[in-house]
Structure formats: C-alpha cells, structure tokens
Amino acid sequence: QVQLVESGGGLVQAGGSLRLSCAASTSIFNIAVMTWYRQTPGNQRDLVATITSGGSTNYADSVKGRFTISRDNGENTVYLQMNSLKPEDTAVYYCAARVFSSVYWGQGTQVTVSS
C-alpha cells in the first residue's frame, strides 16, 4: 500500500506561481511512474504531467512550457512547479503513483487562479 499526501495548493493571481508536492509513504516510490492530474467540477480527471522512475517526462499541451514535473527519490516526493498560471488552471490537483499494475491516489489539493 502506498499513501500519497499532496500539499502546496492555494489561491494565486494570474501570472503567478505555485509548487505542488506529493510525498509517498514508502520507498517503492522509486520505481513508480508518478503523474499529476487535475479535475474541475463535472469534468473528468485530466493528465497534467508524468515522470517515470528514470526521469522521463511528458506534459499535456495546455501546460507545456509553464509547468515542470520533477522527483526526488531520496525524499519519496514528486513536485509540480507551475508558472505563468492562468484562471483555466483552477482545479483540484491529484498525484498518482503507478507501481506495476496498481495505481494509488492522493487526496487532492485545490489550486485557484484569480484573474
């Protein structure tokens, strides 16, 4: 069982920055594919960014050039640096860990971007 705890969400003005963190409870994190998703009310959960255990990354087109995903395997933590935030980035952000065929989710953290 992997427990994930997100932090770093909040209210920010358009153009501002936030850094989200997702801490895992176990070092199995080191082999996990970590992904940030976001969800707005009434909509599906959308992929934002992914990072493999080897550090390869992938981003949704809507965040390319603005968001950066990274991981610290020593701290069992994945980060999402969000710059040049837009009101349309407002959502609950979730991190997920995929380990072999199992997927674990965090509880989510709210990000609100005011115009």
| Residues 6+ positions from 81 with CB-CB distance below 8 Å | 17, 19, 67, 68, 69, 70
Q: Comparing C-alpha atoms, which of 99, 82, 101 is closest to residue 9? A: 82
**Residue 31: predicted pLDDT:** 86
pLDDT in tens, 54-95: 999 999 999 999 999 999 999 999 999 999 999 999 999 999
pLDDT in tens, 30-59: 889 999 999 999 999 999 999 999 999 999
**Residue 40: predicted pLDDT:** 97
Query: How many other CB atoms are found less than 10 A from the CB of residue 55?
Result: 10
**Residue 28: predicted pLDDT:** 81
DSSP sequence for 16-29: --EEEEEEESSGGG
**Helix, strand, coil percentages, rounded to 5, for the chain:** 5, 55, 40
